[in-house]
A and B are shown apart, each in its own frame.
Chain A
Amino acid sequence: MNPTIVYTVASLSSLGLIAAAILYVFAQKFKVYEDPRIDEVQDILPAANCGGCGYAGCRNFAEALVKADSFDGLNCPPGGSEVMEQAAAILGREAVAADPLIAVVRCGGTPDKRPLTSLYDGVSNCKIANSLYTGESDCGYGCLGLGDCVASCQFDAMHMDNESRMPVISDTNCVACGACVKACPRSIIEMRKKAKKDRKLFVSCVNRDKGAVAKKACSVACIGCSKCVKVCEYDAVKVENFLSYIDYTKCVFCRKCVTECPTNAIVEINFPPRKVRNQEAAKA
């Protein structure tokens, strides 16, 4: 046999062996142990990376779930209780039931109710318009209608309504990830508990000006008259800074405040028609 071949094979093999030994030593020394359950949990998460859980992405949330002793305060809004139960099964813990939420737009200032006093022709971006001035109406709190929230939605759950110039939230698509809440420079969008049959009852206004000023800017503004507080039997309504707020954990959807509100700032959505109205309609 040609000795050159022998030497070559021998030297190369020994080099390979030495390299393998070094690699083995370092691989052992710097080994990072990763809980295999993280991958398992990540697989069942929706992989939307929406940030609704408060973590940067689904992987971070999976890590947090594996690390956490209890699921208290941890929730995947797009996945809902189904995903959380699966994760609980993998990790051998108990799922904590979290109320499903839905985003609501707390402004009813459509152009017919909130007169336009100027014309904005700058950049179509709510944050920029908000830093420049009150917007096209005199209400410095209401919706600017330029769609930052719609642009932030990853779930196709929002669109701008051309007529009302307001964002509309789809009951079926919204997963309550909270991206629109963060995108709105005026904090108009709020996460509220998702009720059965998608019923919603809330104060559709965030104007904190005095009643007369608010009313002048918009006919459906909350004027802070406190009539809703008086009529509520469940202590669910509060008025602060001339603005009413209904606590969704206490509200039982009796709708008394809706009828009481003099400016129609409290709205009810997806409720059956009232009996009284039916009788009136029958009379007519």
Chain B
Amino acid sequence: MLKTFPLGGVHPPENKFSESAPTEELPVPAQVVIPISQHIGAPSDPVVKRGDIVKVGQLIAESKGFVSANIHSSVSGKVAKIDGVTDSSGYRQTAITIDAEGDEWLDSVDRSEQLTKEVKLSREDILSRCHEMGIVGLGGATFPSHVKLSVPPGKQCDTLIINGVECEPYLTSDHRLMLEKGEEMVVGISILMKALGVDKAMIGIENNKPDAIEHIKKISAAYKGISVHSLKIKYPQGAEKQLIKALLNREVPSGMLPIEVGAVVHNVGTAFAVYEAVQKNKPLIDRIVTVTGKSLANPGNYRVRIGTPVSALIDAAGGTPEDTGKIVNGGPMMGKALNKSDVPVVKGTSGIILFPASESRRVRVTPCIRCSKCITVCAMGLEPYLLMSLAERDMYDIVEANKVTDCMECGSCSYICPAGRPLLDYIRLGKSTVFSIIRERNSK
């Protein structure tokens, strides 16, 4: 029997069109726009000014506070402006615009393809290197990695879990990374293990990627303590708490972090980025993005520099098809629609999906028939229909009592609802309102 988490979950059509497309390097764009807030936590402080000449890998915005991440230039050239630009939500936020000239890297970055297995840095040095190189979780939440790697005093970590689940339909960037950069990624895992001081790492991969499972199993056989586990295909298995439950059969208590049960979860993309940062001294300046869609000419995976406009990615994949109704940033379950295609790729951009108009429209909303399908699929054991009706009526105290803060916004409830009810939209509203109420209460 394949491992999985016991409570809830859905299995949407996988539609992994780009899984056999090897990762292509996207040419350096003429101009990059790098927002100063690409991570969870405090926005970084720009340390360059207009007219400065920067090289690839140069620090352009310094992290402010512990939960924050450095940001580096992804191209070489001249800083054109530091000003507000429209980000993927349509709102304006400060970004550093750089006009690219040539492709000149910092000398400190080792650009050779050679695999460096031996980890020379000490535990503390690995942490500070991750911080310095601006590594954040590449699974989508963009939580600064050095924070996750610093185990709080009094807590014990015994297992590192590597997330190669990629449970979102359509997306294939992690899959391709495992196939193409497997060796480097496994070295990255051993670095993470050293940083955490654990001797056990478990890689969880869903069963729809048998080639990746085989490949990583072969590589990791040479390493002590790293094991690969194939998991049953079920969304949202890539969520931290679900993955821990599936692999370790430990349940993270409500409102707690995975460290509470002795586990730390990192994405495969993060493991690779950590390898590059620690062994090659390379900051996080590029990432793999899946560009896909049913009517797209060549769905594929592209290694792109941070700050490249999304439109350049779409052009590389064959241009916007005529029937496109919606461009989604991220996976189809948790991603957000873009209202413009000239927004920049940021550290958290895992995929760009172009949906045909026929598939992108919402269905007509009809009354709730209390079929309780949303309760059966909720992986956190919540009651989505109840949370929605409460949030609709502004009854936030009861919303809070019903544990809305445990919701991870995976969207399984909205996906399964036969009445097409916008469950997640209202739950998100309830969740954000409850969080602001809690903040207000705590500040008193």
**Which residues of A pack against B, CB within 8 Å?**
117-118, 121-123, 125, 127-128, 131-135, 138, 140, 209-210, 213
Q: B92 and A209: CB pair below 8 A?
A: yes
State in angstroms the CA–CA spacing of A128 and B84 once bound together: 24
Residue of A whose beta carbon sits closest to that of B362: A121
Interface centre among A117, A133, A213 (most CB of B within 10 A): A133
Residue of A whose beta carbon sits closest to that of B432: A131
Residues of chain A contacted by B339 (CB below 8 angstroms): 117-118, 133-134
Q: B422 and A134: CB pair below 8 A?
A: no
State in angstroms the CA–CA spacing of A134 and B362 once bound together: 19
Residues of chain B contacted by A134 (CB below 8 angstroms): 86, 89-91, 339
- Asked if B428 is an interface residue, CB under 8 A from chain A, the answer is yes
State in angstroms the CA–CA spacing of A123 and B429 once bound together: 11
Q: A128 and B90: CB pair below 8 A?
A: no
Subset of 17 A-B contacts with CB under 8 Å: A117-B340, A118-B339, A118-B340, A121-B362, A122-B362, A122-B422, A125-B425, A125-B429, A127-B429, A128-B422, A131-B428, A133-B336, A133-B337, A134-B86, A134-B91, A135-B90, A213-B84
4 additional contacts (CB under 8 A) given A134-B91, A138-B90, A210-B84: A122-B422, A123-B425, A131-B432, A134-B86
Nearest Cβ on chain A to B379's Cβ, whole angstroms: 23
Q: Secondary structure at chain B's binding surface: helix, strand, loop or mixed?
A: mixed
Q: A132 and B336: CB pair below 8 A?
A: yes
State in angstroms the CA–CA spacing of A118 and B432 once bound together: 25
Residues of chain A contacted by B92 (CB below 8 angstroms): 140, 209, 213
Q: A122 and B425: CB pair below 8 A?
A: yes
Q: Secondary structure at chain A's binding surface: helix, strand, loop or mixed?
A: loop
Indicate with 1 or 0, residue by residue over B422-444, a CB within 8 angstroms of chain A CB atoms.
10011011001000000000000
- Asked if B361 is an interface residue, CB under 8 A from chain A, the answer is yes
Report if A133-B425 is in contact (Cβ < 8 Å); known contacts: A117-B339, A118-B339, A122-B362: no
Report if A132-B89 is in contact (Cβ < 8 Å); known contacts: A122-B425, A123-B422: yes
Report if A128-B426 is in contact (Cβ < 8 Å); known contacts: A121-B361, A213-B84: yes
Residues of chain A contacted by B89 (CB below 8 angstroms): 132-134
Q: A123 and B426: CB pair below 8 A?
A: yes
Question: Which 8 residue pairs are nearest across A and B when measured between Cβ atoms?
Answer: A134-B90, A118-B339, A133-B90, A123-B422, A123-B425, A140-B91, A128-B425, A133-B89
State in angstroms the CA–CA spacing of A135 and B340 once bound together: 12
State in angstroms the CA–CA spacing of A118 and B327 once bound together: 11
Those of B72-119 within 8 Å (CB) of chain A: 84, 86, 89-92
Report if A133-B426 is in contact (Cβ < 8 Å); known contacts: A117-B340, A118-B339, A122-B362: no
Q: B91 and A133: CB pair below 8 A?
A: yes
State in angstroms the CA–CA spacing of A122 and B421 once bound together: 10
Nearest Cβ on chain B to A122's Cβ, whole angstroms: 6
Q: B90 and A131: CB pair below 8 A?
A: no
Residues of chain B contacted by A121 (CB below 8 angstroms): 361-362
Residues of chain B contacted by A209 (CB below 8 angstroms): 84, 92
State in angstroms the CA–CA spacing of A209 and B336 once bound together: 24
Nearest Cβ on chain A to B288's Cβ, whole angstroms: 26
Nearest Cβ on chain B to A56's Cβ, whole angstroms: 14
State in angstroms the CA–CA spacing of A213 and B92 once bound together: 10
State in angstroms the CA–CA spacing of A118 and B337 once bound together: 10
State in angstroms the CA–CA spacing of A119 and B89 once bound together: 14
Residues of chain B contacted by A128 (CB below 8 angstroms): 422, 425-426, 428-429
Residues of chain A contacted by B429 (CB below 8 angstroms): 125, 127-128, 131
Nearest Cβ on chain B to A206's Cβ, whole angstroms: 14
State in angstroms the CA–CA spacing of A266 and B35 once bound together: 34
State in angstroms the CA–CA spacing of A234 and B188 once bound together: 68
State in angstroms the CA–CA spacing of A125 and B432 once bound together: 15
Nearest Cβ on chain B to A6's Cβ, whole angstroms: 58
Nearest Cβ on chain A to B362's Cβ, whole angstroms: 5
State in angstroms the CA–CA spacing of A210 and B84 once bound together: 10
Nearest Cβ on chain A to B336's Cβ, whole angstroms: 7
